Amino acid sequence: MSDEAAVLDAVAARRELIDDALVERLPIEEPERLYHASRHLIDAGGKRLRPAVTLLVAEALTGIEPPNADYHAVPTLDGADTGSVGIGASESTGTGETIDVMAAAASIEAIQSFTLIHDDIMDADDLRRGVPAVHQAYDPETAILAGDTLYAKAFEFMLEADARPERTVEALSELARTCTLICEGQSLDVAFEGRDDVTTDEYIHMVEQKTAVLYAAAARAPAVLLGADDATADALYQFGLDVGRAFQIRDDVLDLTVPSEELGKQRGSDLVEGKRTAVTLHARQQGVNVEGLIDTDDLETVDDAAIDAAVARLDDAGSIEYARTLSRDLVDRGKERLDVLPDSTARDHLRELAEYLVERGY
């Protein structure tokens, strides 16, 4: 925990600011039950890794630095070209000279929260972030609607970044495409549960769509909004894809190795639910009878001893190590992509964050 806490220092201060921005942008107003439900998972915590990526990319690109960084008025990269440099330039709004990068960060977290709420219904996961999932704390109907509300808010927030219209259009286009890909990825994930011939390539493709694209959008959006060149924006997108894939594959490992209390949900739930993961796909290739590892598909009744035995079998087959190595390689590649950014503390933090994604204990 203390090692991880140290790694998280880079994002801890930003997380607080992100939390403030989310609460401010999602006030409890009528209909209150809907907004309480929309805020349920946000209020339950979360590391805010994706919006932290958004802020850190903006810092690296523009040179702004905490604690004085005003994320609501980040100077764009073309200030000199448009004559906007100078006193007062940073206070202008709607003219393109500054953007509210915190609004973009809130947009990314709203998408993350919406997908968690709907995924938990679909996957019948009853715990999330150590609290009952929204469909449990409220009801499935309210959970569907809370997710739909955050979905719309994500687009509203990205608009509120108040970038130049053509940049806003590009960011919104990316956001919409990201949502489509996430839906396709989730659909593939569900479909994989019913198949026993899923290949590693198919799995990586699914992970990219379901999880990685949101990291990619989180990294690319500030570049687009601030007016970075295409090569920079694209490299940041690829960084997000790499670390996002690494994150999910690492998640597959953590689902097996971290106690339920720390995980905030039942350990081994992927295994119980018959999900294809980097670990189980590798194990099958090693001849392990993955379906036979756990003889129940009920998260309520599965016992820890059964999960321990299954995990030991996967470990013997080298499958857990395989997944660890895969996520490690992806993170290494992702870190190299950051060479497009100016040498800066924020770039260092982004690399530490990438490192954290594969080294974290939970």
The residues binding a second copy (CB under 8 A) are 30-31, 33-34, 118, 121-122, 140-142, 144-145, 147-149, 151-153, 155-156, 159, 164-166, 168-169, 172-173, 175-177, 179-180, 183-184, 186-188, 190-191
Output 101 or 357, the one with its CB closest to a second copy.
101
Output 64 or 145, the one with its CB closest to a second copy.
145
Task: Give residue for tokens 């996430």.
Answer: 182
| H or E element that contains 133 | none
Output 169 or 309, the one with its CB closest to a second copy.
169
Output 149 or 248, the one with its CB closest to a second copy.
149
- DSSP letters for 226-289: HT--HHHHHHHHHHHHHHHHHHHHHHHHHHHHS-HHHHTS-TTHHHHTT---HHHHHHHHTT--
Task: Tell me the closest approach of the beta carbon of residue 241 to a second copy, in angstroms.
Answer: 18
Output 30 or 343, the one with its CB closest to a second copy.
30
- DSSP letters for 25-62: HS---SSHHHHHHHHHHHHT----HHHHHHHHHHHHHH
Output 143 or 353, the one with its CB closest to a second copy.
143
Coil, strand, or helix at residue 112? helix
Quote the CA–CA distance of 10 and 328 in Å, as a whole number.
Answer: 20
Task: Tell me the closest approach of the beta carbon of residue 165 to a second copy, in angstroms.
Answer: 3
Task: Tell me the closest approach of the beta carbon of residue 12 to a second copy, in angstroms.
Answer: 31
Quote the CA–CA distance of 76 and 62 in Å, as a whole number.
Answer: 7
For residue 26, give the nearest of 4, 10, 41 by alpha carbon: 41
> Within a 10 A sphere around the Cβ of 93, how many other Cβ atoms?
12
Task: Tell me the closest approach of the beta carbon of residue 242 to a second copy, in angstroms.
Answer: 23
CA atoms within 13 A on the CB side of 94: 0
Output 112 or 149, the one with its CB closest to a second copy.
149
Q: Are 273 and 256 in contact (CB under 8 A)?
A: no
Task: Tell me the closest approach of the beta carbon of residue 154 to a second copy, in angstroms.
Answer: 8
Output 101 or 317, the one with its CB closest to a second copy.
101
- DSSP letters for 149-213: HHHHHHHHHHHHT---HHHHHHHHHHHHHHHHHHHHHHHHHHHHHT-S---HHHHHHHHIIIIIH
Task: Tell me the closest approach of the beta carbon of residue 137 to a second copy, in angstroms.
Answer: 16
User: In Å, how far are 104, 118, 253, 263 from 324, measured between CA atoms?
Assistant: 31, 28, 7, 18
Task: Tell me the closest approach of the beta carbon of residue 286 to a second copy, in angstroms.
Answer: 28
Q: Are 20 and 109 in contact (CB under 8 A)?
A: no
Output 166 or 308, the one with its CB closest to a second copy.
166
For residue 51, give the nearest of 180, 207, 219 by alpha carbon: 219
Q: Are 191 and 160 in contact (CB under 8 A)?
A: no
Output 16 or 166, the one with its CB closest to a second copy.
166
Task: Tell me the closest approach of the beta carbon of residue 358 to a second copy, in angstroms.
Answer: 28
